[in-house]
Amino acid sequence: MDAPGTDISPDEYVLRRILKNPSHYDPSLPVPVQKAAVRPSQRDVNGLSVYREQYYLGNPAGVLAHVEEGKRNNYHIGRIRVSDLNRLGLTVRPAEGPEHLPGHCEIPELNHEDYEKDKRKFADVILEVAKLLGENIVYSPPPG
């Protein structure tokens, strides 16, 4: 397995946490993952967080390790191919720093500051990422 900081292949998949909330995920809708699940938040200073799937093979819920134990059942996990992100003009780069989970990456083009400056510029890309994630939910929390 590659060490963090190595190149990310277009053939790789990355995982994204999706809040179990109708404003983020609603399986009854044609596009179940909503734009709110992909929209950069104030915490996304360097870019939207994703995780390299190769670090979590067989256990996609491992990306929830930094989430408080009592809140881990509040997330779905979606999967998207890096080449699909590249096709949308997005890149994926390893996140820096020991505080990150293994395989933590960022999509630098989807950072909070740039998004706040021109939300309309990002609307179509965010919708496409949401659609792709919604087509490939790899983990859902237990019912209840």
What CA–CA distances, in Å, run from 95 to 3, 62, 76, 108? 12, 17, 22, 10
Please give the structure tokens belonging to residue 82.
């890096």
Phi/psi of residue 123, each to 5°?
-55, -50
Q: Which two three-digit tokens encode residue 99?
A: 């505080």
**Residue 84: CB atoms within 10 Å:** 19
pLDDT at 3: 52
Given a cut of 80, whether residue 2 has pLDDT beyond it is no
End-to-end CA distance of the chain: 36
Is it the case that residue 1 has pLDDT exceeding 60?
no
Cα–Cα distance, 95 to 101 (Å, whole number): 9
Task: Report the percent of the chain where pLDDT is more than 90.
Answer: 86
Spell out the domain ranges in the chain.
13-139
Give the model's pLDDT for residue 4.
45
Whole-number Cα distances in Å, 65 to 56, 62, 72, 100, 124: 11, 6, 8, 10, 31
| Closest of 78, 81, 60 to residue 12, by C-alpha | 81
Of residues 52, 76, 49, 58, the one with CA closest to residue 4: 52
Mean pLDDT of 119-135: 96
Instruction: Tell me if the pTM is above 0.95.
Output: no
CB-CB neighbours of 57 under 10 Å: 10
Confidence band of 97 (pLDDT split at 50, 70, 90): confident
pLDDT (0 to 100) of residue 7: 83
